[in-house]
Amino acid sequence: MNLIDVLIVEDEVGIAELHAQFFRQTVRFNPVGIASDLAMARTMIRIHKPKLIILDNYLPDGRGVDLLREIIADKKSTQPDVILVTASSEMDTVKEALQCGCFDYLLKPISYERLQETLNRYLKYNCAIKAFDNISQRHVDDLFNMQARDKSSSRLPKGIGELTLDKIKQVFNENLGIKFTAETLGGAVGISKTTARRYLEYCSASGFLSVENEHGRVGRPERVYVRN
């Protein structure tokens, strides 16, 4: 499993260390460095070539959104994705960040639950990009929906949690064409077979998965699920 290298750009040492600790506890993200200003950030981007940057907007030597503009303008280098963080809720800054193509925009003090939601969407977004050589309108729509903040959690039925659902969808997105049973999915995600079956049935009903019956080793039909 490839790790996603993350550069943290934050001038408050305590907050930067909290960010780093959070990323160390994740499965897929690897904090490669902390930069306390824009000059250091530029150097570390050249050295580490991070895939993702969590970028504070107000730094001692300038604004993070200006660094974001530089990243977008540099067509010769691999462009990292950016999550912009600021204490300001000014709409002009939000508009700038969106115009520059940042993946998400978070207000201080950061809610790490909210950051985890962003990272879940980011993983799904990257899996979807890698999954297809030729893209269709449906794939384009899926990408835009993944990048947008997900408002569907309030519409989920009782017994279906957003974080667990995201983990399950991530497993299927990373294993296209692989069939899962409730038992094998439960082992992959770390949930019970009964819980896994509930989520699998929900995903098949919503069209995310296809389901079919296969005969198991003892001759009894077994329900298997695969990504559509």
User: Rounded to the nearest 5 degrees, what angle is found at the Cα of 172, between the Cα atoms of 168 and 178?
Assistant: 135
Specify the pairing of strand 58-59 against strand 52-56.
Answer: unpaired
Which residue is associated with the tokens 């050249």?
Answer: 46
Residue 31 vs residue 206, higher pLDDT: 31
Query: What pLDDT, in 10s, does the model give residues 137-168?
Result: 555 555 555 555 554 444 677 888 877 888 89
Residues 200-205: what's their mean pLDDT? 89
Residue 213 CB neighbours (<10 A): 10
Find all residues with CB under 8 Å of 173, minimum gap 6, and list them: 124, 127, 128, 131, 227
For range 111-128, the mean pLDDT: 85
Is the pLDDT score of 90 beyond 80? no
Percentage of residues in the chain with pLDDT exceeding 70? Answer: 83
131 pLDDT higher than 70: no
What CA–CA distance (Å, rounded) separates 43 from 45? 5
């499965």: which residue's tokens? 27
Per-residue confidence (pLDDT) for residue 164, from 0 to 100: 87
Mean pLDDT of 5-26: 95
- Residue 153: its pLDDT value, please? 47
The mean of the pLDDT values for the chain is 85
Res 113: pLDDT: 86
The predicted model scores a pTM of 0.61
Specify the higher pLDDT residue, 89 or 182.
Answer: 182
* Cβ atoms of residues 227 and 139 within 8 Å: no
- Residue 154 has a pLDDT of 46
- pLDDT for 151 equals 47
Is residue 208 over pLDDT 80? Answer: yes
Beta bridge partners of 221: 215
**Domains identified in the chain and CATH numbers:** 4-122 (3.40.50.2300), 151-227 (1.10.10.10)
